Amino acid sequence: MEPKNKITGAEAILLSLIKENVDVIFGYPGGAIMPLYDKLFDKNNELKHILVRHEQGAAHAAQAYAQVTGKTGVCFATSGPGATNLLTGITNANLDSIPVVFITAQVPSSLLGTDAFQETDMVSLSMPVTKWNCQVTCADEIPDAIAKAFFFATTGRPGPVLIDVTKDAQNELFEYSYKKIKSIRSYCIKPELNDKDINDAIQLIQISKKPLLFAGHGILLGNATNELKNFIAKTKIPTAVTLLGKTTVSEDDTAYVGMLGMHGNYAPNILTNEADLIIAAGMRFDDRVTGDINRYAKKAKIIHIDIDKAELNKNVKADLAIHADIKCFFNEITASLNYLSDEKWRNEFYVLHEKEEDKVIKKECFPEIGKIRAGEVIRLLSDKTGRDAIVVTDVGQNQMMGARYYQFKNPNSLITSGGLGTMGFGLPAAVGAQVGQPDKTVLLFTGDGGFQMTSQELGTIFQYNLPVKIIIFNNNFLGMVRQWQQLFNDRRYAETNMPTPDFPMMAKAFGIEGCVVSERENLNKTLDTMLKHNGPYLLEVKIEKEANVFPMIYPGKAVDEIILEN
């Protein structure tokens, strides 16, 4: 007989998750985690479990769920292979700073270190790719471990955390109580913004003639899109975004001047090297953004604001490095600054953008001859969904096309793998996005290669009838790699050419509707059919095989050496 006031470690995990406002878990069961799943069986009302088809999928789905809901993602996996299957997903969440709590099971503590069946040292394995992790070997450590996990995952610069729980800790009875954590002495959640920093920033802005604002992912993570909007409404400082900062500002905002980086827009890349002031807000000067760092933004003073002090002066030396919460920063500076950017400077962006429109965008989005192009499909879908869908992409050309040609307006409406560039991210992330936003249209743009890396998640989409619209751009190539081979390896297409299965037939095997479109004249109608379809849908679009993504900053080149065509 169980003493009345005691519960098992497994049940304590679930109760603690409920206390942390968790309602969805992505996961996959196995031997070591059976006690936890057994307790989950009785908690169906409070905790919805999404059974994926591979633990990597659970990790990606949990991350996307976190991104579209603003909640913390939660993911379960068993010991050994279940846990190691998570690693790509954990790493992805880590590089993109997404709060996900991973709970992995472990062999009984008496067997730790004996190479027991399905024992892997998950704490060591996940150490370089988590913000924090720990192992729990007795039940009464569980509440504190979970409270810390949520605290670390969600505060400061968010990130994934992992708790490894031995099987005996799950089974052990103990007296449970739970309280959330309010503060931890070793960890500052909100650096204080000091007046001097704001005053210095104001001075730098006021003397600048050619200011440029970079809006990064930190603005979404810091819930500061409104504050950003107010700042640019007041100052009209041209605002460029990073890939993960794409949805920080609506694309029809007059200050919006496009995306930075290797396949970003022409104007902001060129003018980065003309600007006399760069305000880098919640971004980290990734090498895909900066190109050749020795020829990057040399004319500009740099104000860099980030909540993560280790990002300041890491890649680019800042003239003014501000360690602060981005929301506070924008609030303070908008209140005290009186500045309006010069119209001539703003116009320089429009002039350059016209060039890109003419040389690239028109051909990509409104072609009249040749095979269907990814850009035109995406632009059509952007219009047809009223720019209101959640767009998930895989990695490669499809990703750059999705980011470039869907005309985003809502914060957090682009879910893409930025830091890690994980092929196979797309389909499971679409699962997570749709679970998190059941009433939204979720569009997945993926390639024929990346789709096949995690296509088993069609099973999950089928099981939960998630109305995801899957658009596979089939070029029969690993397109992005092929593009590099064309440009830099003399068209030697080593192992990038792949025959593909009948994708709609694959979908049908999972009970999912689908079709192929290869002619432009059928495109419109097919897209309408897909969007109107009540339930999941897979559309394979046969596109131009050797289409390239442009503009492009070639590797080793400077941002202002971006080119519009080959």
Ligand X SMILES: Cc1ncc(C[n+]2csc(CCOP(=O)(O)OP(=O)(O)O)c2C)c(N)n1
Q: Note the residues at the interface with another protein (CB under 8 A).
A: 123-124, 127-128, 131-135, 147-148, 151-152, 156, 179-187, 308-310, 312-314
Residue with tokens 């997404």: 98
CB 171 within 8 A of CB 9: yes
- Token pair, residue 471, equals 């658009």
Q: Kindly tell me which residue out of 7, 24, 147, 395 binds ligand X, with binding defined by CB under 6 A.
A: 395
Quick note: the x/- pattern for ligand X over 38-77, rule CB under 6 A, is ----------------------------------------
Q: Kindly tell me which residue out of 311, 376, 448, 540 binds ligand X, with binding defined by CB under 6 A.
A: 448
Residue 325 interaction partner, one of another protein, ligand X, none, beta carbon < 5-8 Å per kind: none
Residue with tokens 């989409």: 461
Quick note: the x/- pattern for ligand X over 132-171, rule CB under 6 A, is ----------------------------------------
Which residue number, 423 or 429, has a Cβ lying nearer to ligand X? 423
Q: What is the largest CA-CA distance in the chain?
A: 80
Determine whether 118 is an active site residue.
yes
Taking CB under 6 A as the rule, does residue 86 contact ligand X? no
Of 333, 440, 332, 455, nearest to 394 by C-alpha is: 455
Residue 477 interaction partner, one of ligand X, another protein, none, beta carbon < 5-8 Å per kind: ligand X
Indicate the pairing of strand 173-175 with strand 6-8.
Answer: antiparallel
Determine whether 362 is an active site residue.
no
Determine whether 565 is an active site residue.
no
Residue 335 interaction partner, one of another protein, ligand X, none, beta carbon < 5-8 Å per kind: none
Burial 92-115 (b: 16+ CB within 10 A, else e): bbbbbbbbbbbbbbbbbbeeeeee
Q: Which residue in 39, 131, 167, 210 is the catalytic one?
A: 167
- Rounded (10°) angle between helices 142-154 and 9-19: 30
> What's the angle, vertex CA 273, arms to CA 267 and CA 277, rounded to 5?
100
Distance CA 102, CA 113 (A): 22
Binding piece for ligand X, criterion CB under 6 A, among 65-73, 338-346, 391-399, 404-412: 391-399
Taking CB under 6 A as the rule, does residue 449 contact ligand X? yes
Classify residue 183 as exposed, middle or buried by CB count within 10 Å of its CB (0-12, 13-18, 19+): exposed
Determine whether 532 is an active site residue.
no
Q: Kindly tell me which residue out of 416, 460, 475, 548 binds ligand X, with binding defined by CB under 6 A.
A: 475
CB 164 to another protein: min, Å? 11
CB 296 to another protein: min, Å? 16
- C-alpha torsion angle, residues 34, 36, 42, 44 (rounded to 10): -100
Q: Which residue in 11, 20, 55, 376 is the catalytic one?
A: 55
CB 134 to another protein: min, Å? 7
Residue 147 interaction partner, one of another protein, ligand X, none, beta carbon < 5-8 Å per kind: another protein
Which residue number, 307 or 328, has a Cβ lying nearer to another protein? 307
- Token pair, residue 84, equals 């190691």
How many Å from the N-terminal Cα to the C-terminal Cα in the chain?
A: 76
Burial 247-265 (b: 16+ CB within 10 A, else e): bbbebebebbbbbbbbbbb
Q: Which residue in 118, 407, 456, 463 is the catalytic one?
A: 118
CB 153 to another protein: min, Å? 10
Taking CB under 6 A as the rule, does residue 367 contact ligand X? no
Taking CB under 6 A as the rule, does residue 405 contact ligand X? no
Classify residue 466 as exposed, middle or buried by CB count within 10 Å of its CB (0-12, 13-18, 19+): buried
Collapsing DSSP states into helix, strand and coil, what is residue 278? strand
Which residues of this chain interact with ligand X, rule CB under 6 A? 394-398, 421-424, 447-450, 473, 475, 477-481
Residues belonging to the active site: 55, 117-118, 167, 480
